[in-house]
Amino acid sequence: MENAIKSIIKFAIDRENEAVFFYEALMERTDFKNQVKFLNELRDMELSHIKILQKIQRDILLNPSVPMELKQKSFFTNYIVEQTPEKKLEYQDILILGMKKEEKSYDFYIRLSKEFEIEEIQNVFIRLANEEMKHREFFNQLYNQDILKDN
């Protein structure tokens, strides 16, 4: 049976994969054509997050001193952003969804950084959190520029 920390890292990798697919889907939409270059950069950052998480996953397996249980329980459900698949998302909906996803990712990595007492691992998760906040700011900027200016 997988221990809690391994499950959390797997969960993080799965969320990063979802983010990659999210950005790739946005690149195909005409209302994001002006942001394709930046979306590519965001996707590439998410791919680098996957590599970082996989390295942490390997390091944890090789380091018997890393605690394998969580300090806090009920980790997963707080960091999932639901999306209604039957609804065709409009541009504004996508921006809001992007902000929510990135903010949840930020919160997740900050909380995950507190689960480890190894400073190097804490710092990696804090760096990931900060990158996720930059992604959120991208969506927030588009929202302010494209949606709020019209209202």
C-alpha angle 9/22/14, rounded to 5°?
Answer: 15
Residue 14: which H helix or E strand, with range? helix 4-27
- Contact, 86 vs 35, CB < 8 A? no
Higher-confidence position of 143 and 6:
143
pTM surpassing 0.85? Answer: no
Q: What is the pLDDT of residues 53-91, one digit of tens each?
A: 998 888 776 666 665 555 555 555 565 666 544 457 788
Q: How many CB atoms lie within 10 A of CB 137?
A: 12
For residue 129, the enclosing domain spans 4-150
d(CA 50, CA 131) in angstroms, rounded, equals 13
Q: What is the pLDDT of residues 103-122, one digit of tens each?
A: 999 998 998 888 877 788 88
Q: What is the pLDDT of residues 9-58, one digit of tens each?
A: 888 899 999 999 988 988 888 788 888 888 898 899 999 999 999 988 88
Q: How many CB atoms lie within 10 A of CB 138?
A: 19
- Tally the domains of the chain: 1
Domain of 23, CATH number, reads 1.20.1260.10
